[in-house]
Amino acid sequence: QHLNDNRMDIGSSDLEIPYEDQGAPATDEQVIGMRFAGALINQGGAIAGAYVELEMDKVDKAGSEAPVNVIIQGELTPNAAPFVEVANNITDRLVTAAKVKWSIPAGLAVNDKIRSPDISRVIREIVGQAGWGPGNALVLIIRDDKDNPSTGLRETESFEGEAGAAPLLHL
């Protein structure tokens, strides 16, 4: 979701975190949503550890070496709906109280895999809700960390761009 006009871009071939446009500093801030359908976790199930794995797509844009500091939260619902082309479709979703800060490193190469820090407390908050059941969908949301703002961007693959390199949720 582009924050400058709140429009969605659900068919994008890339996930540009947290800015769309290169530069020094990068511009066109976005909030990224990733939906994982069919999560086979029991309601209140134990989560020892969890992370998201992303694959780098481009690393040569202006801003690719500048700091990127984001926050990962989840959508606080027991079965997350798919994203649709409706303004504010990510930012209108209720988010978890649990959040994890992530400083995404610079100096990456195309096709490098990067892992978020442990997000198990975010996942536990989602699957601990009444109504959660195995096979439900969950959404993770990545946004700029306003306490430590990004000036750069990281461009990673999306499912629409390269399904085999799409974000993966590891539990």
Residue-wise pLDDT for 37-65, tens only, equals 999 999 998 899 999 999 999 999 999 99
Put simply, whether the predicted model's pTM sits higher than 0.85 gets the answer yes
Under the banding of pLDDT at 50, 70 and 90, the label for residue 103 is: very high
> What's the confidence (pLDDT) of residue 45?
86
d(CA 68, CA 54): 14
Lowest mean pLDDT among 15-19, 20-24, 52-56, 151-155: 20-24
* Mean of pLDDT values over 102-106: 96
